[in-house]
Structure 1
Amino acid sequence: MSADPFKPAQRVAGARADVWTIVNEAAAASPVQPIINMGQGFFGYNPPPFVIEAAKGCLDRVECNQYSPTKGRPRLKKAIADSYAPFYNHELDGEKNVTITTGANEGMLSAFMGFLEPGDEAIIFEPFFDQYTSNIEMPGGKVVYVPMIPPSRGATEKTSASEWKIDMEKFKAAITPKTRMIVLNSPHNPIGKIFSRDELEEIGEVCVKHNLIILSDEVYDKLYYTPEKFVRIANLSEEMWKRTLVVGSGGKIFYATGWRVGWLIGPEHLIKYVAGAHTRICYSSVSPLQEATAIGLEEAEKYNFYEESRKEMKAKMDRFNEVWDELGLPYSDPDGGYFVLVNLAKVKLPEDYDYPSYVSSRPRDFQLMWFLIMEIGVAAIPPTEFFTLENEHLVKDWLRFAVCKNDDVLETAKERLRKLKQYIV
């Protein structure tokens, strides 16, 4: 008898319910409505007017409504090269050093498709953006996990995101003859950590020693709050430039996550294979929004957009985190991005609370998430979703909140979260 033609591929069969589905279904069922969704990192407001106007104008142009070149529209590639040239020690050529992808996520998939053969290994650091795993496994790669360790006093006092550290000994021990790539994320989601120059140099030395490709996910690179300039691993040396692919996102920069305009920057000998894989995955990306993103990059400095964006997001972060200071709940103060991790070990959940089985069987942060949605009316993300089973104990008392929302939404969330006071011991 022939095999069941309806049997799903192993890569999707038997997967447990993902966190996004659980959160959204819980939010819809909550008796507290409307839910304040601080879970997913989508913006609660529109892109800046000059970017919106650019998009509207591009829709009226015939050429912007047809296929773009597979590597991306020339204007966008040039705009990226020109915009990022001041931040690199290496000359950037839009035609040689940039390729456009359908969002940063498809860009990362293209990078893995371009370089991983079945059985090759790629190292990612926990916590990790959950798409890394599937993107590595799709071309037959094997994911190897190395934990980042939270500060030991994170359950009792406010700490800095910079205090989360890679276990370097475990990193070195994880490398085998099959290791081909590592994935680095800075500013980091969900921690908000920005890796220091010293940390990047230590990671870079290991990569040079073992001849590894670095996929540097820098989609939050415009949102950093440290007094020092954001350090890019590709800039550490000529050797690092030769082995680094940098991931960027127009959606993250311009508050337009639904546009799905991403890119990779790197040396030509790497970029050409990413572009080749992208061509086979989706051929080309959305033309009018590519052109609008190009105009946004060209005009951003005229409006002092990047500086204003940083100030605005930092103000939202500080405004929202006031509620944790009021409640005496410690959090990890981020150096960049728009997520904050809060430790809720002091919150005592009712012992007889009724959770669905797919929540009660998961770590405590899932139960915290469910309780906040159902009783408080605020949605957050449990970060054990971004850890392996072996290491999820490290964050079982934390939740991730996204602050990229309107100020009135943040104030409503704070007012609701104050109800947690009765559960704090």
Structure 2
Amino acid sequence: MNKHLLADRVKALTPSSTLAITAKAKELKAQGVDVIGLGAGEPDFNTPDHIIEAAYESMKAGETKYTPAAGTADLKKAVSQKFEKDQHIAYSPDEIFVGSGAKHVLYCLFQAILNEADEVIIPTPYWVSYPEQVKLAGGTPVYVEGKESNHYKITADQLRAAATEKTKAIIINSPSNPTGMIYSKEELSSLAEVCVENNILMVSDEIYEKLTYGEEKHISIASISEEFKKQTIIVNGVSKSHSMTGWRIGYAAGEKAIIKAMTNLASHSTSNPTTTAQFGALAAYTGTQQPVEEMRAAFEGRLNQVFDSLNAIQGFRCLKPQGAFYLFPNVKEAAVSCGFTTVDEFAADLLEKANVAVIPGSGFGSDDNIRLSYATDLKSFKEAIKRIAAYVNEHSSASD
């Protein structure tokens, strides 16, 4: 291949570890192997019927043409009303951008705000695409460790120490993928104060806001004060909350100038989010929310049934998630005991010998962990835990 064929920006990309593991698991399944995949980050429920019906009816009514680049007026109005109802935040339509999934929205955001050498603070563990999107926009990821002892969350002191004159933004993901941890109002306030002092934009990824368990609830950093709101871009969507991952509808809310820049960028890339999917998203927000609660309750039930047995596996240490649908155990002790120097090798062998697909934590900036998604049926998840426990018991030096 001609060395000049590809751009430097794509040569530097790291492939998504979540998609790679999921693809490998599907390949083995196609070969007849009884693989249990715990890698995919999407609900195992179908999209609610009233959303599917609304999308179908929109097509029959002839709503199959282009829409405005930033989304239909009705959908942006519904998003605005959702913010008012859920977070008590007011956003006008020109402060809202609808894109082709929250991932596309984040991509447009970084393209719109970052110049070469601008720094973006990314707490670890992080969602796999954050660093790559920052790099694609010419920015520099700056990693700050969310310590396990602090439930994988960073502190204001850590943020203050990491901030420089080049710091443009920080990404805050609460509830978190991959840890499931939630920042409290006090923790968010302390981080926001540092951001205001240093003129750092807060990118608040709230895609898992509806999936919370126990007493800790999601709080949007923009809802705490008007000052914080001005310094925040919220990113959200219907993928996780309404089981619409394939529909690809996400949105951002915040500063008008940023939203306009994202809109201009999208007008030259996607033209507009898929029209039919927008009508589905409109129904998601204007229709009944009962399916959202039913799905949340199902995930919480699974978590409570599988957590103790996972945490009891020899060499596993796991904090109980407060949201999302992932478990993120520290398995370094188990990996070493089974004869591996890295958790990546341990995870690869789990797939080959125990037929369980998990995501190595290295893809999330946390080498000692693995991520398991309980967005799968309870029977399969329980069987997966049994297989992992049996594998560890068989291969661990402590069992010799």
Instruction: Quote the sequence identity (%).
Output: 26
Shift of 1:229: 3.6
Give the letter aligned to residue 74 of structure 2: R
Which residue in 1 is equivalent to 2:271? 283
* Structure 1 pair 96–226 and aligned structure 2 pair: CA distance change class (3 A): farther
* Structure 1 pair 232–226 and aligned structure 2 pair: CA distance change class (3 A): farther
* Structure 1 pair 333–272 and aligned structure 2 pair: CA distance change class (3 A): same
- The 5-angstrom pairing of residues 360-379 of structure 1 reads 364-379=342-357
Shift of 1:257: 0.9
* Structure 1 pair 51–96 and aligned structure 2 pair: CA distance change class (3 A): same
* Structure 1 pair 101–26 and aligned structure 2 pair: CA distance change class (3 A): closer
* CA–CA distance in structure 2, aligned partners of residues 326 and 266 of structure 1: 44
1:50 aligns with 2:50: yes
Shift of 1:29: 4.7
Shift of 1:346: 4.3
* CA–CA distance in structure 2, aligned partners of residues 85 and 99 of structure 1: 16
In structure 2, the gaps of 5 or more residues are none
* CA–CA distance in structure 2, aligned partners of residues 366 and 120 of structure 1: 31
* Structure 1 pair 169–325 and aligned structure 2 pair: CA distance change class (3 A): closer
Aligned match of 1:327 in 291, 298, 313? 313
Which residue in 2 is equivalent to 1:70? 69
Shift of 1:129: 1.3
Question: What count of residue pairs does the alignment treat as equivalent?
Answer: 393
* CA–CA distance in structure 2, aligned partners of residues 178 and 172 of structure 1: 13
* CA–CA distance in structure 2, aligned partners of residues 82 and 105 of structure 1: 22
| Structure 1, 205-214 or 14-23: larger mean CA deviation | 14-23
* Structure 1 pair 205–15 and aligned structure 2 pair: CA distance change class (3 A): closer
Which residue in 2 is equivalent to 1:38? 38
Which residue in 2 is equivalent to 1:154? none
Which residue in 1 is equivalent to 2:359? 381
- The answer to which structure, 1 or 2, has the higher relative contact order (CA under 8 A, 6+ apart) is 1
Aligned match of 1:103 in 87, 101, 115? 101
| Structure 1, 198-207 or 130-139: larger mean CA deviation | 130-139
1:220 aligns with 2:202: no
* CA–CA distance in structure 2, aligned partners of residues 129 and 204 of structure 1: 21
Aligned match of 2:298 in 300, 303, 312? 312
* Structure 1 pair 16–203 and aligned structure 2 pair: CA distance change class (3 A): closer
* CA–CA distance in structure 2, aligned partners of residues 24 and 246 of structure 1: 29
* CA–CA distance in structure 2, aligned partners of residues 56 and 5 of structure 1: 47
* Structure 1 pair 74–15 and aligned structure 2 pair: CA distance change class (3 A): closer
Structure 1 runs of 4+ off > 6 angstroms?
349-352
* CA–CA distance in structure 1, aligned partners of residues 257 and 19 of structure 2: 39
* CA–CA distance in structure 2, aligned partners of residues 29 and 349 of structure 1: 26
Shift of 1:351: 6.6
* Structure 1 pair 374–227 and aligned structure 2 pair: CA distance change class (3 A): same
Does the 8 A contact of 2:108 with 2:265 survive in 1? yes
Give the letter aligned to residue 79 of structure 1: A
Give the letter aligned to residue 199 of structure 1: E
| SS of 2:240 mapped into structure 1 | helix
Does the 8 A contact of 1:186 with 1:221 survive in 2? yes
Which residue in 2 is equivalent to 1:410? 381
Listed one character per residue, the Cα deviations across residues 369-424 of structure 1 (whole Å, up to 9, x for unaligned) are 1111111111010111121xxxx4xx42x210011112333233234334233345
Q: What RMSD over aligned residues (CA atoms) do the two structures have, in Å?
A: 2.5
Shift of 1:17: 5.8
- The 5-angstrom pairing of residues 2-401 of structure 1 reads 6-13=4-11, 18-20=16-18, 22-24=20-22, 26-27=24-25, 28-29=27-28, 33-63=33-63, 65-93=64-92, 95-151=93-149, 163-301=151-289, 304-327=290-313, 329-347=316-334, 364-387=342-365, 392=366, 395-396=367-368, 398-401=369-372
| TM-score between both structures, scaled by the size of structure 2 | 0.90
Shift of 1:246: 0.5
Which residue in 2 is equivalent to 1:159? none
| TM-score between both structures, scaled by the size of structure 1 | 0.85
